[in-house]
Amino acid sequence: MAMMRLRREDPRVVGSFRLHRRLGAGGMGVVYLGSDRRGQRVALKVIRPDLAEDQEFRSRFAREVSAARRIRGGCTARLVAADLDADRPWFATQYVPGPSLQDKVNEDGPLPPSRVASIGAALAEGLLAVHDAGVVHRDLKPSNILLSPKGPRIIDFGIAWATGASTLTHVGTAVGSPGFLAPEQVRGATVSPATDIFALGATLAYAATADSPFGQGSSEVMLYRVVHEEPQLRDVHAALAPLVEACLVKAPEERPSTLQLSLRLKEIAAREARGLPDGAHQPPAAHPAKPPGQRGSTGRRGCCT
């Protein structure tokens, strides 16, 4: 992750954390690299001064913290501390070293199918923990996935919301990133775990091709394509294309569950790593794991240790 020097207007200390570098900035605020007295490094997000007085944004920030607190799993950045009542509310999560999936693909080009499947399997298991907490991320995309030495991590729950919530902040305004939004988000309909499955399918297509499955264009053009056109998957490896296509089905109820996606991607990753053709027999594991339980589209928690 690229780091930048602190600017003159940046704080040097927030709560019990000393700030060292800027990690990035977004619509809600600035993210800093910080550390506590024990040397533990954190990614600390501080809300923008002009938004701190806006109750709507304070509520949105509180939702992000609430979502982070409910999630238990190794594939998300663990919440360390927060202060929602400060003049400039903030919260700190475990710092995740490594590039984003977007930066990795921009630098190195499309990833091999075994790597795409391996990342996808870990992310799907991460989403099991997210959904098990009753949360839908709603903005899963390559820039919100960090490739740490211990595996991919899902970050930025800034627009996460409880399962069953609407996707609109204002009438007719969808929340999220064009090209990775699900059709139901564009329409302002109810979100569900299947909403994140669509975004994961689009993300895997990006990792495999270095492009969105809905191409490039203005936000309006991209949103139209998501709702009315089929994704372009001709450059996605044959081992992955059918599963990615299933994730990108327009009707949420027809997409695979998070658990089904995790298991299938694990199979593809193992097969591709060994260079086996699709459908080839895989020898059983020495100690086969007991199938995880499933409640709706959720199952066991955690994925990366």
Count of domains observed in the chain? 2
Is 50 a known active-site residue? no
Q: Which pLDDT does position 294 carry in this prediction?
A: 38
Q: Which residues of 64-91 are buried (b: 16+ CB within 10 A; e: fewer)?
A: bbbbbebbebbbbbbbbbbeeeeeebbb
Q: Which domain holds residue 22?
A: 15-94
* Same-domain pairing of 124 and 264: yes
* Same-domain pairing of 205 and 113: yes
Q: Which residues of 279-292 are buried (b: 16+ CB within 10 A; e: fewer)?
A: eeeeeeeeeeeeee
44 φ, ψ (degrees, to nearest 5)? -115, 120
| Binned average pLDDT, 10 residues per bin, the chain of 305 residues | 87 96 85 95 90 84 77 80 92 91 96 96 92 88 93 76 40 60 94 96 98 94 96 96 98 96 94 70 41 37 38
Say if 4 falls within a structural domain: no
Say if 294 falls within a structural domain: no
3 φ, ψ (degrees, to nearest 5)? -120, 145
Q: Which pLDDT does position 277 carry in this prediction?
A: 61
Say if 41 falls within a structural domain: yes
* Same-domain pairing of 82 and 114: no
* Same-domain pairing of 218 and 188: yes
Q: Which pLDDT does position 221 carry in this prediction?
A: 94
Q: Which pLDDT does position 276 carry in this prediction?
A: 62
Residue of 106, 164, 162, 114 whose CA lies nearest to 134: 162
For residues 163 and 236, what is the distance between their CA atoms, to the nearest angstrom? 30
Alpha-carbon separation of residue 128 from 13, 162, 216, 295 (angstroms): 35, 14, 30, 10
Classify residue 58 by burial, with Cβ atoms within 10 Å: 0-12, 13-18, 19+.
middle
Q: Which pLDDT does position 163 carry in this prediction?
A: 42
Q: Which pLDDT does position 7 carry in this prediction?
A: 94
* Same-domain pairing of 90 and 130: no
Residue of 218, 298, 203 whose CA lies nearest to 258: 298
* Same-domain pairing of 141 and 74: no
* Same-domain pairing of 87 and 125: no
Tell me, rounded to whole angstroms, the distance of Cα 54 from its chain centroid: 26
Say if 141 falls within a structural domain: yes
Q: Which pLDDT does position 176 carry in this prediction?
A: 56
For residues 76 and 283, what is the distance between their CA atoms, to the nearest angstrom? 31
For residues 3 and 107, what is the distance between their CA atoms, to the nearest angstrom? 17
Q: Which pLDDT does position 79 carry in this prediction?
A: 86
Catalytic residue among 139, 196, 211, 235: 139
State the pTM of this model. Answer: 0.79
Say if 295 falls within a structural domain: no
For residues 45 and 33, what is the distance between their CA atoms, to the nearest angstrom? 9
Residue of 96, 65, 123, 119 whose CA lies nearest to 302: 123
